[in-house]
Amino acid sequence: MVIIDDAVVLSKTDFKENDRLISLYSKEHGRIAVRFPSVNKPNSKLKAFCEPFTQACYRIYYRRNADIGSGTGGKIISVFAGIRKDYKKTSLALEFCQFAKRLTPEHQPNILKYNLLVESLKEVEAVSQIDSRYFYMYSCAFVLRFMHTAGFGLDKPVLGLSKAFWDKIHNTPLSEISFENEEQETLDKTRYIVNRFLERYLDKPLQNIHEYNTQKATSKS
C-alpha cells in the first residue's frame, strides 16, 4: 500500500548503517514513523525529506501489516530556510516539534494540530528577530495553544492572569506578539503554568524549557 500525505518532520534518528527513521506529523494519518533507506549515503537525494521541521508531501510505502512505512520520495513544500539560518528560531522550531511529538498519539490525525504546527513554524520564520527577553514566551504560547487544541483546556485565565493577556498569548500571531516591561510578572506566571503542565503530563520537561529554568536558578544563586 502506498499513501501520499502532507507532513512535518518531528524528529530523526539514524537507523542501522545508512538508514534514517523519522517521526512525521501528517495531515491525514497523524503521527507516523517512516524509514528512509540509504538516506545517509553521500549521493542520497532524499536527505532534505528527513530534516526536522521540513514540510513535504511524502510518498510512503507500507508492506502488509507493517507499522513502519518506507519513504520513497515526494515533494518538498518548505524547509523553512529562514528558520534554519537563525539559531534561536531553530531552537524554537525544534521545541515545537518535540512538544507536538510528545503530546500526540500515533495514528490519530487532527487537522487543527497539524495546521497549528505549520502556521507556528511560518510565524517564527516571519519574525524579524527573536527578542532574547521573550524567547521562552514564544515557546509557552505554542504549548498553551497546542494544549487547547489537544483538548487539555486552559482556555480561560488562571492564577489571576488578565483576559486581555490570555487572549493575546492564545490568539496573536507569534510574528506579532510583544509584551510590555510591566508584564514580566505575568510572563513568569505563564511559564509556571506551562512547566506544571509539562511535569504532570510528560515524563520530563522539554529540553529548552528545562535549560531555561536551570539558567534562571543559577543566576539567582
pLDDT digits (tens, 9 = 90+) for 67-89: 899 999 999 999 999 999 999 99
Q: Which of 127-131, 150-154, 213-217 has the lowest mean pLDDT?
A: 213-217
User: 23 and 106: one domain?
Assistant: no
Mean pLDDT across 143-165? 77
Looking at 20, 50, 78, which one is the last position of a domain?
78
Question: 10 with 97: CB under 8 angstroms?
Answer: yes
Looking up cell 517521526 gives: 23
Residues with Cβ within 8 Å of residue 166, at least 6 apart in sequence: 156, 157
Neighbours of 102 (CB within 10 A): 14
- pLDDT at residue 205, as a whole number: 55
Examine the pLDDT at 97 and tell me if it is beyond 90.
Answer: yes
Which range marks the domain in which residue 178 is found? 82-220
User: 136 and 182: one domain?
Assistant: yes
- pLDDT at residue 184, as a whole number: 76
pLDDT, tens digit, 9 for 90 and up, residues 2-60: 999 999 999 999 988 889 999 999 999 999 999 999 988 888 889 999 999 999 999 99
User: 61 and 99: one domain?
Assistant: no
